[in-house]
Amino acid sequence: MSGRQHRETEIARRVRARGLAAGRISAQIADEIHETCASQFNTTRIKAHRLAFGIALADVIEQIRALFERDAKPMPGIGETLLSAYESGLKRPGPEYLHYLCTVYRVEPGALGFDGPCICGHGHRMPGVLAIEREKPLVPAERELSLQPMVTEPEAQEDENVLRRTLLNLLNTDTNLSEQLDGPVFGACEGIRRRMDETLVSATVSAQMLDQWEEATISFGRQYTTTAPLRLLCDVMLELSAVRTAMSRRQPNDLQDRLCRMAAQLSGLSGMIMINLGDHRLARSFFRTGRMAADETGDRALRAWICARESLVPLYFGDAREALNLAKKSRDLAGSTPCPAQAMAPVVEARALAMLSGTDSKKKEIVDQAKRALARARNAFSHMKSEDQEDVAFGYTERQLYFYQGDVLTKLGQTIEAEVVLDQALTKYEDHIVDQTLIRLDQAQCRLLDDDVDEALRIGTAALAKVGDEYLTDFIVRPALALEQAVMARDAHHPGLEGYRAELRRPRQPQLKGGGA
């Protein structure tokens, strides 16, 4: 503990002792600590509450973990570093962590220096009383003393509020989110992305990146295939907005690369999520922002990763030649540096070539090029770092390699090889229903190419039947429709089509869960 921190703690301890002797409650003591220490030590309201309880950071962490355990939730990733960032005003807690901090200190968000109601909708001072009702008798000074170290523009604050309200709605399983996806959410995302562009272009600031932001980014990457896209998008956007706010203020020069790297990774991840949500325009915009941030770092591997991920936009939305050009650009950027893009770019190149093979007169030459690209991808994968081979978002995994190899071979008509690779891929995706379904649809295409229409429809129908309504996103519907059209081209009156169409078009509520490979 530094001398400054020691003096702050000593003053807070004396204030606490006097408050307890006078019979004051912890919230009143916290107010007095804040009034006494804020001007001299920049003590935030949330830190004042911990000092009012006379406990250490580790004690708060243990209480939060105990509350998570009580509520039967997985252990949180919050640690002393992250809590310290909340207390120093460098980061705002997310809705869930804020709820548990309010529970620990038995106060509302405003008392801790954060605007808005708690995610639970109930007061923390008196169980069962709505938070909005509890705010009425609060002492006015409690609002006046609220400390906001990072000043946010009103427009940016409103965009963040849209995303926070969406997070609250996501907790209500009965809420239909289809209308929200059409306007406010995407509008807020575009606003945050645009302001990040403005900051990268116009601000002459040094960058700052703290350890907890890097940890959060890695965590978001791990959640990419297992968390609802809209939920993950809100979390990533709020993190990106916090990073932009930090970049708009002058930071130490030696940490500039870390903050720009964070902006590039979060923007790239946002683009990936936008692909899953079916908005290719916003996806391209986020990848453009990611390229701008990556260029600031001078990191060829990061720039190549952004470019490889961007190549998926034209690949999924029907422009194979542009996807091929972007994949080659990513490969050139990666150069000889062992990195995920070295494996990812050739796979995208092979998939684009496979799509072109059906329309190009030089089919054999294109098939050979695609197979050579797959061979380059396998070789590059073998030289990747082990941590990159396990990272589904910022790296490239073995199961992704198998999945896409099978997809390429299917599109090339190499059904025997494709079925072997797809069987291997299916065993590796045993816990991801979305990717399992995409693999099974490829298997159905293989059977169709072998003129076994009955088996193709059986596999396709069974695959769709295994998918819950909430997972039938555009990511699955698009290849499922392609299978239907391919079957109709062979036999438009096949008796199995009726059952397949019934599964594909069954009534459902659009609730967008699950990710894409």
- Got the DSSP string for 40-59? HH---HHHHHHHHHT--HHH
Which tops the pLDDT comparison, 496 or 222?
496
pLDDT at residue 172 in the model: 62
pLDDT at residue 508 in the model: 64
Between the ranges 114-123, 222-231, 478-487, where is the mean pLDDT highest? 478-487
Query: Which of 94-98, 255-259, 343-347, 501-505 shows the lowest mean pLDDT across its residues?
Result: 255-259
pLDDT at residue 52 in the model: 92
Helix (H) or strand (E) segment spanning residue 260 = helix 256-277
pLDDT at residue 355 in the model: 87
Which tops the pLDDT comparison, 306 or 400?
306
Q: Considering all CA atoms of the chain, what is the largest pairwise distance in Å, rounded to the nearest integer?
A: 90
Task: Compute the average pLDDT of residues 211-238.
Answer: 82
pLDDT at residue 509 in the model: 55
Which tops the pLDDT comparison, 256 or 210?
256
Q: Return the closest-CA partner of residue 409 out of 371, 449, 375.
A: 371
Q: How far apart are CA 94 and CA 97, in angstroms?
A: 5
Question: What pLDDT, in 10s, does the model give residues 331-390?
Answer: 999 988 889 999 999 999 999 998 887 655 567 888 889 999 999 999 999 999 999 998
Q: How far apart are CA 220 and CA 496, in angstroms?
A: 41
Alpha-carbon distances of 323 from 261, 311, 338, 368, 448, rounded to whole Å: 24, 5, 22, 18, 26
Task: Compute the average pLDDT of residues 242-270.
Answer: 80
Task: Compute the average pLDDT of residues 468-489.
Answer: 84
What does pLDDT average to over the chain? 81
Task: Compute the average pLDDT of residues 126-153.
Answer: 40
Task: Compute the average pLDDT of residues 427-452.
Answer: 87
Q: Return the closest-CA partner of residue 118 out of 129, 320, 183.
A: 129
Alpha-carbon distances of 125 from 28, 54, 179, 247, 268, rounded to whole Å: 13, 19, 35, 37, 41
Task: Compute the average pLDDT of residues 244-270.
Answer: 80
pLDDT at residue 153 in the model: 66
Question: What pLDDT, in 10s, does the model give residues 250-260?
Answer: 666 557 778 88
pLDDT at 515 over 50: no
pLDDT at residue 95 in the model: 82
Task: Compute the average pLDDT of residues 36-52.
Answer: 92
pLDDT at 506 over 90: no
Contacts of 380 (CB under 8 A, 6+ apart): 338, 342, 343, 346
pLDDT at 20 over 80: yes
pLDDT at residue 513 in the model: 39
Query: Which of 63-77, 133-147, 171-185, 443-457 shows the lowest mean pLDDT across its residues?
Result: 133-147
Q: How far apart are CA 62 and CA 66, in angstroms?
A: 6
pTM confidence score: 0.59
pLDDT at 150 over 60: no
5-27 residues labelled b (16+ CB within 10 A) or e (exposed): eeebbebbeebbeebeeeebebb
Question: What pLDDT, in 10s, does the model give residues 296-345?
Answer: 888 999 999 999 999 999 988 878 999 999 999 999 999 888 899 999 99
Question: What pLDDT, in 10s, does the model give residues 165-207?
Answer: 777 777 665 555 444 455 778 888 888 887 787 776 554 443 3
pLDDT at residue 146 in the model: 34
Query: Which of 98-112, 265-279, 429-443 shows the lowest mean pLDDT across its residues?
Result: 429-443
Amino acid, res. 453 = V
Model confidence band, residue 292 (pLDDT cutoffs 50, 70, 90): very high
pLDDT at residue 474 in the model: 74
